[in-house]
Amino acid sequence: MKIRIVKPGLLTTIQDLGRWAYLAQAVPVSGAMDTYSARLANKCIGNPDNDAVIEFTASGASFIAETDLLIAYTGGGAILEVNEQQLPPNRPLFVPVGSNITFTNSRNGFRTYLAIAGGWDLPLVLGSRSTYTIAGFGGHKGRSLQKQDILESSQNLTPLAEKIFLSLKTDHINYSSWHAGVPFRTLDNYTIRIMPGHEFGWFEGQSIATLLSTAYNINNRSNRMGCFLDGIQMKRRHQQELLSTAVTPGTIQVVNDGSLVLLMADAQTTGGYPRIAQIAAADLPLCGQLKPGDAIKFEEISFHDAETLYFEQENNIEMIGQAIAAKFR
């Protein structure tokens, strides 16, 4: 299966679940900003969770089906359309050769994931297909997708992907009546859960109270490295230098003027700013859907509870996969 990019949109990159084995050499994790949606897109068409997907930012992109396609899309950045007919998200879609697929506006989120049966066929670089544009490696030629880029899927389909393909293949657009069960969670009034970071105690009580009660807005300088959060700044109890140490996607750092920076997928692996909090892993995918201007609030939970939430979410994803497989037994 093959597509050709007509309009690349704001920022379109190949991602998987990231590059975790080279952190000691300061190679960032990268990977999908919303890993939950990326995994769901793969599950819908019977792919392994870590297959490469395309991450689209906001709306405006379009591509042409150069062959018949079995695809699925998830996330909240856009609605896919063919000839002004909307294609439903979170389920397998059969799209015949020649279709022109466009990404129209969706107000729910910021990023959309497109999976294809077999996964996008690109070489592994340092164990991952994720694009890290800053150093120019991974994904498609180490860069974001451009007009006229051709992308092909791997021909190694899982038995489940083969069955889904055969169940939908025809000469027109076709999709399943079932969906993957989880509608995209919107961020309206959504609270992001955080755990206290190791330097939490460096900040004044009043600042902590502010952090846990007032809204923060996503600044438009935000990108795949991090979200700059506009809101009331944090005050330190005492000035103290932090020796550079490990950080990870989801770490909230406080920079010198007291502003908050939420580190995301392409963040550097070490940092010297105090870490006031860490986003719960179960809520980090939602942060990948934040767009400039969005407001978020924080709620404190323990590391213990965060781990429980993480395993509940993992279970949930596993069950979605099993439910889809059960339909084709």
Partner 1 sequence: MQPSPNYLRIYPLSEKAVSIAFGQTISEQNLRDIALLNKLIEQQPLPGLLSTVPAYATLTLFYEPGTVKALHSLKGETCAEKIKTYIDGLGASSNNGVEVNSRRITIPVCYEGDYAPDLNFVAEHNNLKPGEVVHLHSSVTYKVYMIGFVPGFAYLGGMDKRIATPRLSKPRTVIPAGSVGIAGEQTGVYPLTTPGGWQLIGRTPVQLFNPLAEAPALLKAGDEVIFKSISLTEFNEYLHENPYR
Q: Under the rule (CB under 8 A), what is the footprint of partner 1?
A: 20-28, 125-126, 134-135, 137-138, 195, 198, 243-248, 250-251, 268-271, 275, 278, 280-281, 303-304, 306-307, 310-311, 314
Q: Which residues are registered as beta bridge partners of 111? A: 57
Sequence-separated (6 or more) residues with CB below 8 Å from residue 200: 208, 275, 276, 277
CA atoms within a 13 Å half-sphere pointing along the CA-CB vector of 229: 27
Give the residue with the Cβ less far from partner 1, 126 or 232: 126
Give the residue with the Cβ less far from partner 1, 143 or 163: 143
In angstroms, what is the minimal distance from the CB of 248 to partner 1? 5
Give the residue with the Cβ less far from partner 1, 178 or 303: 303
Other Cβ atoms within 10 Å of 102 Cβ, number: 19
In angstroms, what is the minimal distance from the CB of 254 to partner 1? 16
Sequence-separated (6 or more) residues with CB below 8 Å from residue 271: 244, 245, 247, 251, 253, 263
Structure tokens, 119? 């996964």
In angstroms, what is the minimal distance from the CB of 89 to partner 1? 27
Give the residue with the Cβ less far from partner 1, 118 or 138: 138
State how far Cα 163 lies from the chain centre. Answer: 27
Q: Coil, helix or strand for 71?
A: strand
**282-316 burial: b if 16+ Cβ within 10 Å, else e:** bbbbbbbbbbeebbbebeebeeeebeebeeebeee
In angstroms, what is the minimal distance from the CB of 230 to partner 1? 23
Q: In whole angstroms, what is the distance from residue 195 CA to residue 306 CA?
A: 8
Q: In whole angstroms, what is the distance from residue 10 CA to residue 8 CA?
A: 7
Q: In whole angstroms, what is the distance from residue 153 CA to residue 102 CA?
A: 19
In angstroms, what is the minimal distance from the CB of 276 to partner 1? 13
In angstroms, what is the minimal distance from the CB of 88 to partner 1? 31
In angstroms, what is the minimal distance from the CB of 170 to partner 1? 39
Q: Is the dihedral of CA 7, 10, 12, 16 positive or negative?
A: negative
Give the residue with the Cβ less far from partner 1, 50 or 210: 50
Residue 92 corresponds to which amino acid? Answer: P
Q: Which residues are registered as beta bridge partners of 251? A: 278
Give the residue with the Cβ less far from partner 1, 22 or 328: 22
Instruction: Tell me if 95 sits within 8 A of 101, measured CB to CB.
Output: yes
Give the residue with the Cβ less far from partner 1, 122 or 168: 122
In angstroms, what is the minimal distance from the CB of 7 to partner 1? 28
